[in-house]
Amino acid sequence: MVIIERHESELLKKINKWTMVYGRRKTGKTFLVKRTAKYDEYFFVKRDRTIFVESTAKDIVYDTFIELFSRMLKDNKTIVVDEFHRLGNGFLDYLHMMDKNGMLYVVSSTFHLSKDLVGSHSPLLGVFAEFPVELIRIEDVAGSLPKGIEKKELLEISILLSEPLAIGYYEKDIKPKDLAGILISSGKILVPALVGEIFNEEERKMTNIYSAVLRAIASGKNTTTEISSFLFSRKLIEKDNPGSVTQYLQNLIDIKIIKRVQIANKKSFMYEHVSHLIEMYYYGDEKYNISEMDFDNKHVILIIENIFPRIVERYVRSFLARKFGLGEAIIKEADYDIDGYLTKFKTCEIALEVKWKGVIDRKDITDAEETLSKVESKRKIFFVPDKNKVNYKGNRMEVVDFSDFL
């Protein structure tokens, strides 16, 4: 299994106060903390509130844990308490009252609770440094992979492995198509379990409405109007009213299942999946009913061909926005779209077109030039799998690939 060196590791090392590490389930929080922190003891809180002690490989009850926990912190030890929120308010009150000796890392799979615990009305305000953990950055993945991978495959593998659940399926020399196929097949079990766990941890009931919202977005219905119509057509909401889906979308944003991207020229938003694993599953299930039937390699290829260019597009847009510290938006017009409209103080720094296919031909180049010419920006970037395979002699845009930014 490949070990991915995450940028968060260096950031975590620099924090010298008690730290709350939180994020969606299966984002590698525990692996990150255990690999980064030089801890003296690791405790894992089970759902029944018994606590597993790593050093002894035994379970203990709450009172025994508190006694051991207190003694170790008084001795300035470093402790990790995983899924600490399961211990309840009594433990939180105890943390508030005790002396802040030693080094404490608490880990939680809930966004809402974690934010509440350090919010303005919390007794723990100021006690913990916040440390959110999301999916792995594609640049971190690329930097941890073996050298010599062809450019197109490097980006595709980096995207696939940005979801920590995928890392266990990676083998050296595996092709992106094959890895994606494994993930789609495994998604029949992985994704419903993952999404169900997320909602369980957030104390929300996973309803048909939430599932339908995820299906709509995976199918390319990205605006509140389109999502509302999708839900209304399935008789999941009483009226086809975009306002009626706003709270569902916000809940999914809050727990990092989806994200919201500005549509710059319309002063509105579109919604996207955060995880390609969840997106591929819901797309495949909506189009080919993969959760209810056996599906063959033909269906896998169709899913990859239809949805993966769109996944690459949004990952590249986010990557470049992060790389250059820019705001992330798109342009949607009746006759053209701009894949990335990256801004600084409302000024477009980068207009981006992404073309993800085997061979970039003359028409692709001409279309990209024409589309990018429709907006004012300091840089106009045409992002392709491998710029060395693109015959472009013009100066109206930059032709780039992933390697230019690593």
**Domain boundaries for CATH 1.10.10.10 within the chain:** 139-309
Q: Which one is predicted more confidently, 157 or 115?
A: 157
Region of poorest pLDDT, from 17-26, 43-52, 273-282: 17-26
Tokens of 285: 């299930």
pLDDT of residue 202: 56
Helix (H, G, I), strand (E, B) or coil at 10: helix
> How would residue 195 be classed by pLDDT, with cut points 50, 70 and 90?
confident
Question: Residues of the chain with pLDDT > 70: what percent?
Answer: 95
Tell how far CA 283 is from the center of its chain. 17
Query: Which residues face 82 on adjacent strands?
Result: 44, 107
pLDDT of residue 24: 86
Averaged pLDDT score across all residues of the chain: 92
Helix (H, G, I), strand (E, B) or coil at 107: strand
Distance CA 250, CA 278 (A): 18
The second-level CATH assignment, the architecture, of 7-132 is 3-Layer(aba) Sandwich (3.40)
**Domain boundaries for CATH 3.40.50.300 within the chain:** 7-132
pLDDT of residue 201: 60
**H-state helical runs in 25-160:** 29-36, 62-74, 89-97, 111-117, 138-144, 151-160
> How would residue 162 be classed by pLDDT, with cut points 50, 70 and 90?
very high
Domain covering 314-405, topology: Trna Endonuclease; Chain: A, domain 1 (3.40.1350)
pLDDT of residue 156: 97
> How would residue 295 be classed by pLDDT, with cut points 50, 70 and 90?
confident
Q: Which one is predicted more confidently, 330 or 201?
A: 330
pLDDT of residue 117: 67
Does the pLDDT of residue 397 top 70, yes or no? yes
Among 406, 4, 402, 356, CA closest to 165 = 4
pLDDT of residue 194: 83
Does the pLDDT of residue 343 top 70, yes or no? yes
Tokens of 91: 């433990």
* String of DSSP letters for 174-203: --HHHHHHHHHHHHHHHHHHHHHHHHHHTT
* Mean pLDDT calculated for residue range 121-142: 87
* Mean pLDDT calculated for residue range 30-40: 96
Region of poorest pLDDT, from 81-95, 104-118, 158-172, 216-230: 104-118
> How would residue 97 be classed by pLDDT, with cut points 50, 70 and 90?
confident
Query: Which residues face 378 on adjacent strands?
Result: none
Does the pLDDT of residue 29 top 90, yes or no? yes
Does the pLDDT of residue 376 top 90, yes or no? yes
CATH of 139-309, one of 3.50.50.60, 1.10.3720.10, 1.10.10.10, 1.10.287.610: 1.10.10.10
Query: Which residues face 272 on adjacent strands?
Result: 259
Torsion angle of alpha carbons 379, 403, 358, 351, nearest 10°? -10
**Domain boundaries for CATH 3.40.1350 within the chain:** 314-405
Tokens of 139: 């640049």
> How would residue 114 be classed by pLDDT, with cut points 50, 70 and 90?
low
Question: Residues of the chain with pLDDT > 90: what percent?
Answer: 75
Region of poorest pLDDT, from 32-46, 194-208, 212-226, 239-253: 194-208
User: What burial class does residue 91 get, using C-beta atoms within 10 Å of its C-beta: 0-12 exposed, 13-18 middle, 19+ buried?
Assistant: buried
Does the pLDDT of residue 206 top 70, yes or no? no
Among 197, 140, 190, CA closest to 169 = 190
Does the pLDDT of residue 282 top 90, yes or no? yes
* HSE toward the beta carbon, residue 258, CA cutoff 13 A: 27
> How would residue 116 be classed by pLDDT, with cut points 50, 70 and 90?
low
